[in-house]
Amino acid sequence: MRKYRDGIDGGILDDDRLRIVLLGLIFLLAFGILAARLYFLQLHRGKEHRKLIARQSERRVRIPGLRGGIYSADGVLLAGNRQAYDLLFFPSEMHQGGRKKTAAHMAACAKKLAKLLNRNEFPETEDFARHLIISPGVPMTVFRDLSKEGLARVFEFSRTVKGIDIQFSPVRYYPCGDLAAHLIGYAGKADAATARDREEFFYYNPDMEGKSGVEKAFDQMPDETPGLRAFPGRSVIQVNNIGYAKKELLGKSAPVHGNDLILTIDSRAQKIAENLLANYTGAMVVLDAGSGEIICAASSPRMDLSRFYPRLEPEYYRQLLNDPEKPLINRAFQAIYPPGSTIKPLMCMAFLQAGIDPDEPVYCSGESNVGNASIGCSAHRYYGDDMTMITALKKSCNNYMIHHATALGLDKLTPMLSAVGFGRKTGLPVAENSGDFPSGELKLRRYKTRWNQYDTALLSIGQGIISVTPLQMALYTAAIANGGTLWKPVLVKKMVDPRGMAIFEAAPTVAGKLDITPENLEIVRQGMFQVVNSSGGSGRQGRVDGLQIYGKTGTAETGSRRNMRNITHFIAFVTHQDKTYALAVTVEDGSSGGRTCAPLAAGFFNRFLLQR
């Protein structure tokens, strides 16, 4: 070992002792710095760190609010919320010392309860295990919508098992059954994964969101105005080190309930229309001709909305999808049909606008020859007669319409069809169809051939390249009834908040005006009056004593020669107690517009207007 001599006192220090001294000094310095740092953090940032630690044991929970109700114009609740009793398991109280044991214990309890409640479906061990991993801080819903008898059995069972509780939850229900089912639509649980506020909450309870009908259209308004859907509340719970809730609320804000919708639908009118259509496939639409408000819009067959909650039954949904009658379609707004002879009042208005004399007679030979084709006349009993415009409407003469339409040509006919809204959507907030508007471009695109005289002849009697919805027919009938105003249809009268204050109120909106003089419009109206009220009228079965009903029948043939079907129509309007109503009814596979649809219209007007 090397040694060094001290020149002052002659003492000798080896290098090992020197290293120890230096190392000690370094440790002392490090501890001093650490102590100073701890002192600084404790004194100056202690409060901030205590908040961070507390935050790690807090969980924000989203609380969905109550969805708004849907009411008819006469104050009848069509879609509301009822309180359902749900059975919940609380993981924090059912904890068995480990996740695996806890899941097995919860599954065993669920199985016993399922037997008591006569339930075939219940969560399995893996379902509880998944919940304990993802959401251990919140209870798990095990059974929904318990009966009163089921509640009693649960209470008895819960005396021996901890962590079982009952919770109230809102469920959509329909006091009027399936009344106005297509208009109302349905709602279901929103997808939490795509929700805009998902990142704000640790535990996310989604809202009910609209899936179809007005439930969807007014779920949330496009301009940020609240809709049927509520504004959620929130709570903060404290959890332990493994995520189980301590049932200690650190803060809570209640949700704001959704707004209520008041429809223009009259519940009694809707019920009458649906009852009349019960044995048919078709639709009926009735409007207030002075405002465009929809009084009723019935579609048959209907669907049972009660089977859409608390969740849509897969078997029932498959049944609806596979039903050849297609009950999911709202035929009043979405189904398109050739209008048949209900188009003839429009043809006559186009003729008058083109300067044709309404008193000029046209001989009816029973058929019209157009090119190499022949089109028969529907006015079978009147072959050999001379037809004026009014008698042609009254007897629904095809020859008269074809004679003038082919002479004028397509371009002189389509402006009137466009003026009443054919070929475009009406502006309803719910799903609707625009139909087909007759044009050479459409025929060329669809059939690869050019428009010809035969197409014009078919158009004049409501067949060929044209299709409309019952709603469009009702709107054009209303325009004839009110003097020429085409309204934008109104389905929702207003929306009100939970306090009853109006969020918005609908106002009548003009969608167009008919370019026709009052004198010429009156000629068409007189022809429609004769349809119903004269002995030779094609729609005389639409007559009702005590009412002056104006109408027009229509029957269109669709399909191939082997599978030919009749689409039957009747349009009508009537004034009663200073209000004018316009109606359109369509029945698939009917006998004729006069024999099938006119009696349905008469039945509606009689029951709704006279039997109050």
Residues 473 and 441 in one domain: yes
Question: Which of 215, 243, 263 is at the close of a domain?
Answer: 263
| Torsional sign, CA 278, 283, 289, 291 | positive
Rounded alpha-carbon distances, angstroms, from residue 73 to 202, 265, 266, 267, 294: 42, 6, 5, 7, 10
- Reference 176, options 76, 245, 276; nearest CA is 76
Residues 593 and 606 reside in one and the same domain: yes
Give the three-state DSSP class for 275: helix
pLDDT of residue 4: 43
Distance in angstroms (rounded) separating the CA atoms of residues 328 and 345: 32
69 and 13 both lie in a single domain:
no
Does one domain contain both 138 and 284? no
Query: Are residues 393 and 301 both part of a single domain?
Result: yes
Report DSSP letters for 403-469, one per residue. HHHHHH-HHHHHHHHHHTTTTS----SS-----B---HHHHHHHHSS---HHHHHHHHTT-SS-BB-
Region 36-53: what's the mean pLDDT? 55
Distance, in Å, from the CA atom of 481 to the CA atom of 286, rounded to the nearest integer, reads 13
Whether residues 550 and 406 fall in one domain? yes
pLDDT given for residue 159 in this prediction: 85
Residues 535 and 505 in one domain: yes
Instruction: Check which CATH number belongs to the domain holding 437 and give it.
Output: 3.40.710.10
- Do the Cβ atoms of 375 and 458 come closer than 8 Å? yes
Query: Which amino acid type is present at position 271?
Result: K
Name the domain boundary from 38, 56, 74.
56
Q: What are phi and psi of 515, to 5 degrees?
A: -85, 80
290 SS3 class:
coil
Judged by average pLDDT, the poorest of 184-193, 258-267, 466-475 is: 184-193
> Are residues 18 and 83 both part of a single domain?
no
For residue 458, report the phi and psi dihedrals to the nearest 5 degrees.
-65, -40
Task: Decide: 287 and 476 in contact? Cβ < 8 Å.
Answer: no
Residue 226: domain span: 59-263
pLDDT of residue 336: 97
Q: What is the pLDDT of residues 556-601, one digit of tens each?
A: 988 777 778 899 999 999 999 999 999 999 999 999 999 999 999 9
Residues 52 and 68 in one domain: no
Give the total number of structural domains in the chain: 3
What pLDDT is attached to residue 217? 94
> Is there a contact between 575 and 470 (Cβ–Cβ < 8 Å)?
no
- Spatial distance between the Cα atoms of 406 and 351, rounded to a whole number of angstroms: 11
Listed as own residue / partner, the contacts of 197-203 with beta carbons closer than 8 Å and 24 or more positions apart are 197/62, 197/232, 200/60, 200/62, 201/60, 201/61, 201/62, 201/234, 202/59, 202/60, 202/61, 202/137, 203/59, 203/60, 203/61, 203/62, 203/135, 203/137, 203/138
Of the three residues 216, 237, 263, the one that is the final residue of a domain is: 263
pLDDT digits (tens, 9 = 90+) for 419-436: 999 999 999 999 999 999
pLDDT at 248: 56
Q: Is 245 helix (H, G, I), strand (E, B) or coil?
A: strand
Quick one: pLDDT at residue 45?
55
H-run or E-run covering 169: strand 164-173
Interatomic CA distance for residues 261 and 72, integer angstroms: 8
Within 8 A by CB and 6+ apart from 172, the residues are 67, 79, 80, 81, 186, 187, 208, 305, 308, 309
Say whether both 221 and 128 belong to one domain.
Answer: yes
State whether residue 573 is helix, strand or coil: strand
Per-residue pLDDT of 281-301, as tens digits, reads 999 999 999 999 999 999 999
- Residues 523 and 389: their CA atoms lie apart, in Å, by 8
Confidence check: pLDDT of 108 > 90? yes
Regarding whether 30 and 133 lie in a shared domain, the answer is: no
Q: What is the CATH number of the domain that holds 165?
A: 3.90.1310.10
pLDDT single digits (tens) 400-412: 999 999 999 999 9
> Greater confidence, 603 or 562?
603
Q: Give the model confidence (pLDDT) of 124-134 as tens digits.
A: 999 999 998 88
- Residue 8: per-residue pLDDT: 44
* Proportion of the chain above pLDDT 90, given as a percent: 58
Higher pLDDT, 177 or 518: 518
Q: To the nearest whole number, what is the mean pLDDT of the chain?
A: 87
The DSSP result for 119-151, as a single string, is -S----HHHHHHHHHH-TTS-EEEE-S--HHHH
Inter-residue contact 472 to 425 (CB < 8 Å): no
pLDDT score recorded for residue 510: 97
Q: Which residues pair with 568 in a beta bridge?
A: 555, 587
Pair 200, 272 in one domain: no
- Which of 282 and 23 is assigned the larger pLDDT? 282
